[in-house]
Amino acid sequence: MFNSRRILIVEDEPFVVIELVEAVERSGGAVVGPVPTVAEALALLDQHKIDAAILDVQLLDGEISPVALRLIEQGTPLVFQTGTGLPVVLVELDIELAVVLKPVAPMIILELLLAEIMRQTARQVG
């Protein structure tokens, strides 16, 4: 499914992390992280090329916006998972973002992420 794509996972709930890591690896992806904070996610972005990302919205050190904005600027496909909705700064971008409400099965997240990857690929080709 993911053909060794590097998938960043930013999530602070341990059981969710375990499920996501296992699902990404079973689907042929290479996990970057996982990390539970915005600061650690930003550090990983400086160190690694990321092909796609799964982002929890509310983390131990605040909301995911700084990471998300950087990934959006880079054109990186991503999926948000949240129990509360998107931060205002992301809503105000007025762009289509893939968002799922927790709790959600990991395979649903991965299917949505694959759709985002395909959408991004189509934009680059077209």
Residue 67's domain is classified under what CATH number?
Answer: 3.40.50.2300
In a domain, residue 81? The reply is: yes
In a domain, residue 85? The reply is: yes
In a domain, residue 51? The reply is: yes
Residues 10-62 have pLDDT tens digits of 999 999 999 999 999 999 999 999 999 999 999 999 999 999 999 999 999 99
**Residue 54 contacts residue 8 (beta carbons within 8 Å):** yes
What's the farthest any 2 CA atoms get from each other in the chain? 39
Residues 61-107 have pLDDT tens digits of 999 999 999 999 999 999 999 998 999 999 999 999 999 999 999 99
**Is the pTM for the entire model greater than 0.85?**
yes
- Per-residue confidence (pLDDT) for residue 126, from 0 to 100: 65
Q: Please confirm whether the linkage preceding 103 is cis (ω < 30° from 0).
A: yes
Number of compact structural domains in the chain = 1
> What is the extent of the structural domain holding 27?
6-120
Cβ contacts of 53 within 8 Å, gap of 6 or more = 7, 8, 9, 10, 67, 71, 76, 77, 78, 79
In a domain, residue 63? The reply is: yes
In a domain, residue 57? The reply is: yes
Query: What is the distance between the alpha carbons of residues 85 and 95, in angstroms, rounded to a whole number?
Result: 15
In a domain, residue 14? The reply is: yes
Q: Look-up: residue for tokens 């982002």? A: 55
In a domain, residue 125? The reply is: no
- Tell me the one-letter amino acid at 102: K
Handedness of CA 73, 108, 84, 25 (dihedral sign): negative
In a domain, residue 1? The reply is: no
CA angle, residues 44, 31, 54, in degrees to nearest 5: 75
